[in-house]
Structure 1
Amino acid sequence: MPARDLASGNGLVSGYARLGQWESARAAFWSLPERDVVSWNTMIAACVERDRPQESFALFRQMDLDGVAPNRITLASILSACDGSQENIAHALIAGLRDLEPDAMIGTALVILYGRCGSCEKSLEIFHQMEEPRDPGAWNSIIAALARNGHTDAAIAMLRRLECEGIGPDFAVFNSILFACSHGGSLCEGYAHFLIMAGDYGIAVSSSHFMCLIDLLGRAGKLEAAEELIDSMPFEADGLAWTILLSSCKSHNDVERGAMAAMRVAEFESWESSTYVMLSSIMRN
């Protein structure tokens, strides 16, 4: 297949994928008479972005059967699709990385992978081995790994190191920090970082940040404050916000507010079994 035609075909696959036209991207990919590493990387990355890990693994295996050698972009994409349930795949990929020079892309993917597998020690080891100065993606990945595994103090300490390096944290870093504070019971620390995010860094507060703050208040038993926050957000609350409050009402046995939250959830979505379970648990207690 002429290189020009292959490049055009790859561009078509990439264009459909960027536009979210999944079926068109897939059809264009499989209609290519020949596929090079760029073709496979584009399709694998599209699968990962659409949260289709099994399909990305299947493509990776087919790529190998077709005799196309993966590069660091391929391996970084596949690593990012792995979680704790795919450790065998991950270890095989890590073995294959020995032939490649380590770089920021692969290092970041490994930090994310080990974090998903619950191995923060390994995530930290990989992070510290990465060449300085580390890029924002590497910092984001290690802070997220620590936060998601309950290491609140370590995640906050890493945020302070990032600031000392002169790198401004972004919205994703604060998502991780707020998550860590919520699950670690650090109410004052979490609220302070919520204020710092907009006040000191000028980061626009997103829906996900508000969800973390609602959860933070709810877990701390500040249910009235959580409800007031939902009502005062600069956008209309959805079912997720009220579900978070309902879950907190269940934990703290607030029957009246829990019933109200359940009714608000029902305004946005049909009554699901989880909503029934939480409300019945509150009433039973």
Structure 2
Amino acid sequence: MKQLSLLSSCKSLRSLQQLQAHATKSSLDADPLFAGKLLLHCAVHISDAHDYAERLLLHSPNPNAFMYNAVIRGFSDSDSPRRSISTFSLMLRNLSSQIDSFTLAFSLKSAANLRCLRTGAQLHCQALLRGLETHIFVGTTLVSMYGECGRVEFARDVFDEIPEPNTVTWNALLTAFFRRGDVGGAERVFAAMPAKSPTSYNLMLGGYAKLGEFAIAGKVFDEMPLKDEVSWSTMILGLAQHGWYEEAFACFLRLRRVGTRPNEVSLTGVLSACAQAGALEFAKMVHCFVEKVGLIWITPVNNALMDTYSKCGSVDMARLVFERMPGKRSIVSWTTLIAGLAMQGHGEEALALFLEMEGSGVEPDATAFVALLYACTHAGLVEEGSEMFDKMSNLYRLDPEIEHYGCMVDLYGRAGQLARAYEFVIQMPIPPNDVIWRTLLGACSFHENVHLAEKARDKLSEIDPNNSGDRVLLSNIYAVAGKWRDAAAVRRSMAELKLRKSPGWSRIEVDKMVYMFVAGVRGDDATREAYEKLGEVMSRIRVEGGYVPEVVSVLHDVEEEEKEGAVAAHSEKLAVAFGMARSGGARRVRVVKNLRVCRDCHNVMKLISKVYELEIVLRDRSRFHCFKNGNCSCKDYW
């Protein structure tokens, strides 16, 4: 039958509909074999044709079990697994006697994707009613479903009833234990497995990596008889996600040495590590490798490259990757570059790129608007940001989410329009969360508004009473205002509740090695070298730059000399000093910091850039600062 052979060549819904129209003319559409194969191809092999497959089923005069199973299977792997369950319910009414192992297995897969224990249990009852609960296909999917729903004890019971579980069944049980975080249970299952496949080893590796147990994961990795692409990418991505950046770099280099070809996951994983650590030189090496082996065509890898270059302070390279991307740019590609420009404070360029994206026919989504509002926030484009916020709902019919409201509060707050920010929060159609109030509190701290800060702190006390950062901000505000008793009271409450401030750290890459510094932590050679160089630097900028410490925000009512000591060795100062000591005459250093840069460090960086004729690129929690010739790219707006 010619039309059946042509089905496999249909790659889009339009081409399939053309074939169907031709079959209708020749009355072939009435043939059950052709109708079933058509529906299966539509439901399973064409990603955007699930709705059409469902219509074909509903309009079929005599749908058989094969057709129902095809639609159930198609929806089980889609973004709408609930419709797989509704199709099962329809089959139960119309064709109950023909429900088989395929019907139940794909329906159970949908229940697992929904993580709906009630639906899964009802399907389990149907399997028991039909004597299919021990069928290897159904039993394995039952184990997976209970594991996804967090009921590992039920998964174990089902597993014990299966006469001859295969490797897939064992792996499903292994996954169930790891999903609940039961490492011991997973280890017992792995030890009991009669045959361990590469997938079994990868599941163990992924389970340990997800839990951050990299000492054990490393042992499993070393013991694996065969390391495939999944093994390497699991290790690299897991290390990157848990902040083990140097280990992720080492693992990637090891992958290259053994001759394994990295896949999309391992490349995006190592680039993520580069982005978080600010390792620009290592990122450039990865970029060269990607181009050398011909993987530059992969859109997610290009997006990861842009994100990495942006977060490493090289937005020009990010733009170059964007401009040279082969094929069509995705919405993620546009959004990544907009976000990169936003981090650098290039608000006008980000707005222009957004308009270019609209002109290209790519419709912005909610994430794109977050990046755009962020750009307006960090460039002080208050009215432009307000217009874009209105455009989001009025033109594109996108309902603002909490992130968009947070951007607007930040937009008004950074600009010093605190009353407008507070009014915006009060009028929000959804309840403001702790992030919204914390954003307002941060703006009050920067603009020294004690009255409004107390209001924000009262709200935060109701939502998140044990957050140490909120108390530190309020204490800062009291200290700046000279309210030492109030500042001391806040500090006492932190001590009573045993709350600790998150330590600030800064990282710098030197000769493709990443070093981390924490204020007040001494001991290794790198730290001693940093402190020694910092002492020399601070003395010189006092004499040649007129440096006066910014001690007004130091929290205690103590002598000025003690206050100066409290700000003298912040982690970003140590990182810059270390970079200067190891620079070998380089005229630029790059530093990544986990917290927002303080006023004193900001002033010091400006003076160092002027006195030493050094360019400093500093990425803090909020944005990039590029210090050059005594000025900062943020124009003191951060």
> What's the TM-score, normalizing by structure 1?
0.83
Alpha carbons of structure 1 residues 52 and 225: separation in structure 2 relative to 1, 3 Å: farther
Cα distance in 2 for residues equivalent to 1:277 and 1:230 = 23
How many residue pairs align between the two structures? 280
Counterpart of 2:435, as a letter, is L
The offset of 1:177, in angstroms, is 0.8
2:472 pairs with one of 269, 273, 283: 273
Matched residue of 1:251: which SS? helix
Alpha carbons of structure 1 residues 142 and 231: separation in structure 2 relative to 1, 3 Å: same
Matched, 1:57 2:256: no
User: Larger relative CO (CA 8 A, sep 6+): 1 or 2?
Assistant: 1
Please give the root-mean-square deviation of Cα atoms over the aligned residues, in Å.
3.1
Aligned to 1:209: 404
Aligned to 2:229: 37
Which is helix-richer, 1 or 2?
Answer: 1
2:392 pairs with one of 190, 197, 200: 197
The offset of 1:171, in angstroms, is 1.9
Alpha carbons of structure 1 residues 245 and 279: separation in structure 2 relative to 1, 3 Å: farther
Aligned to 2:262: 70
Cα distance in 2 for residues equivalent to 1:40 and 1:90 = 18
Matched residue of 1:82: which SS? helix
Counterpart of 1:80, as a letter, is S
Greater C-alpha Rg: 2
Cα distance in 2 for residues equivalent to 1:264 and 1:205 = 22
Alpha carbons of structure 1 residues 226 and 51: separation in structure 2 relative to 1, 3 Å: farther
Aligned to 1:93: 286
Counterpart of 1:100, as a letter, is V
Matched residue of 2:378: which SS? helix
Alpha carbons of structure 1 residues 105 and 195: separation in structure 2 relative to 1, 3 Å: same
Aligned to 2:382: 187
Aligned to 2:143: none
Matched residue of 2:397: which SS? coil
Structure 1 gap segments, 5+ residues each: none
Deviation string, structure 1 residues 74-94 (Cα, Å, up to 9, x no partner)? 223211221363123223222
Aligned to 2:354: 159
Q: Does the aligned pair in 2 maintain the 1:214–1:241 contact within 8 Å?
A: yes
Aligned to 1:118: 313
Aligned to 1:141: 336
Deviation string, structure 1 residues 117-154 (Cα, Å, up to 9, x no partner)? 22222211111111242122211111111111111111
Matched, 1:81 2:276: no
Which is strand-richer, 1 or 2?
Answer: 2
Alpha carbons of structure 1 residues 50 and 236: separation in structure 2 relative to 1, 3 Å: farther
Structure 1 range deviating more: 166-175 or 262-271: 262-271
1:6 pairs with one of 198, 214, 233: 198
Alpha carbons of structure 1 residues 203 and 33: separation in structure 2 relative to 1, 3 Å: farther
Alpha carbons of structure 1 residues 165 and 28: separation in structure 2 relative to 1, 3 Å: farther
Task: After TM superposition, list the pairs within 5 Å mapping 1:238-253 onto structure 2.
Answer: 238-253=433-448
Matched residue of 2:416: which SS? coil
Q: Does the aligned pair in 1 maintain the 2:425–2:432 contact within 8 Å?
A: yes
Q: Does the aligned pair in 1 maintain the 2:280–2:309 contact within 8 Å?
A: no
Q: Does the aligned pair in 2 maintain the 1:217–1:223 contact within 8 Å?
A: yes
Cα distance in 2 for residues equivalent to 1:51 and 1:236 = 33
Structure 1 range deviating more: 255-264 or 275-284: 275-284
Cα distance in 2 for residues equivalent to 1:276 and 1:192 = 35
Alpha carbons of structure 1 residues 228 and 26: separation in structure 2 relative to 1, 3 Å: farther
Counterpart of 2:401, as a letter, is S
> What's the TM-score, normalizing by structure 2?
0.40
Cα distance in 1 for residues equivalent to 2:290 and 2:411 = 40
Alpha carbons of structure 1 residues 28 and 140: separation in structure 2 relative to 1, 3 Å: farther
Q: Does the aligned pair in 2 maintain the 1:242–1:261 contact within 8 Å?
A: yes
Cα distance in 2 for residues equivalent to 1:158 and 1:177 = 10
Q: Does the aligned pair in 2 maintain the 1:112–1:145 contact within 8 Å?
A: yes
Deviation string, structure 1 residues 152-178 (Cα, Å, up to 9, x no partner)? 111111111111111111222111111
